[in-house]
Each structure stands twice: as structure tokens, then as C-alpha cells.
Amino acid sequence: MGILIVDDSPDQQLLLKTILKKAGHLDLLIADSATAAYDQLGIDQPEPPQHTPPVDLILMDFLMPGIDGVAATQRIKSLESLRDIPVIVVTAKTALGDLQAAFAAGAMDYITKPVSSVELLARVNSALMLKKEMDCRKTREMELRRSNAELQQALREVKVLKGLVPICASCKKIRNDQGFWQQLEEYIQQHSEAEFSHGLCTPCIKKHYPGVYPD
């Protein structure tokens, strides 16, 4: 699963990347600013970037020049296509107001600097597990919606005969809704999915071809 590291410090980038790679997280993307992160995520681009792994988690530095981590998180979470990506803020600021701002922007968790490898991996693994469960749920919901749509389409295509059908007692023709008399098989074909193969029953064969069945 892909992890996007957003940090303007090369040393911090290297530290996070080293810890994650040693733990087996190999699909890593690096962005040294919020703007670079937007490019990685395809924000404000007509098409998403090619040949990059999907992003399943974002490690967002709190303090960055230009657009800070809170504003960047808020921008990412404002987009429906990116809303489900967990964001963990990496910060040296632990004041209550700063953390509240990060959570209000949409961050799910935070890690304090200097980063502990144990804490980092525990929070990353928890976030990735959550993302995986959310993806599975969305897949199931999409499959359910598709199945429901197919069922509704099938029901719309089914034609069912019901109610009072006027039929001639002599020739067995049926009077349709327009008041015209139709052959029985023509009427049924128009009002159902049935098809006919014509033949002769034994009594009719005896009646029309008496030599076929000797008495």
C-alpha cells in the first residue's frame, strides 16, 4: 500500500523513509511541499499522475513554508476522491490548539517529533488497516449497487400477463387494449417473454390427417 511522505526537511524524509522501508513498506512517495503533494495526488490536474503507486496513507508535516500541513490536509479532505485517505500529522507542536486544528482539518492521528520508530510503525499499520477495511467496504457497496441496478433492469424488462384478458370462446382470439382482436400467440408474445414453436397435437392430426393414425 502506498504512503506519501510530505515534509520539507530532507533529513526527516530520509528518517521516515528508512524506518518504513525496513518494516516492509516499499511503495513510498516523497513531496517536499504541499504543492508537490498536490501534484502527486493529481489535485488541480486534468488527469492523475501516471506510473505512481496509489496513495493509501499520507504522513503530513505540520510546519512547512507556504501551505502548512493543516491547510494541505483540509484541501485534500475537501475532495471526494481523496477523502478516504488517512492523514497522520507529524509535528513537534503538541499544544492542544494545534492538535485540534489538525483534527478539525481531517487528520486521523498525529506523531510527535523526534519520531519514534515504534510509534510510527504502530500508527502507520493501524491507519493502513483502516484504509484497507474502508476500500473493502466501498468495493462491496459498489458490487451491491451494481447488482441492484442489474436486478432493477431485469425487472423492468420482464413482461407479466395479469388481470382480465378478453378471449373469444369460439376462435380463441384475444381483444387487446385498443379493442382489436389478435391471435393468441401474437398477444402473448407482445406481453411476455414467451416464444412459440408451432406443431399439431394428436387430436388435430387425427382430424386433419385421418390416415396418419389408424383407428
Along the chain (215 residues), what's the average pLDDT of each consecutive run of 10 residues? 93 94 93 92 71 83 90 92 92 84 92 91 93 89 88 69 78 85 83 77 80 68
Residue type, 135: D
Provide the domain limits for residue 11. Answer: 2-146
The pLDDT of residue 67: 92
The pLDDT of residue 183: 87
Residue type, 32: D
Same domain, 142 and 160: no
Same domain, 112 and 142: yes
The pLDDT of residue 46: 66
Radius of gyration, alpha carbons of the chain: 34
Degrees (nearest 5) of the Cα angle 136, 137, 142?
100
User: How many domains, the chain?
Assistant: 2
Same domain, 118 and 160: no
Same domain, 117 and 162: no
Counts for the chain of helices (H) and strands (E), in that order:
7, 7
Contacts of residue 188, defined as CB under 8 A and 6 or more positions apart, other chains included, come to: 161, 194, 196
Same domain, 137 and 162: no
Q: At 175, phi and psi to the nearest 5?
A: -90, 120
Same domain, 214 and 128: no
Same domain, 142 and 170: no
Residue type, 184: L
What does the H/E/C string look like for 78-120?
Answer: CCCCCCCCCEEEEECCCCHHHHHHHHHHCCCEEEECCCCHHHH
Q: Please answer whether residues 36 and 44 qualify as being in contact, where contact means their C-beta atoms are separated by less than 8 angstroms.
A: no
The pLDDT of residue 48: 56
The pLDDT of residue 42: 86
Same domain, 122 and 173: no
Contacts of residue 36, defined as CB under 8 A and 6 or more positions apart, other chains included, come to: 6
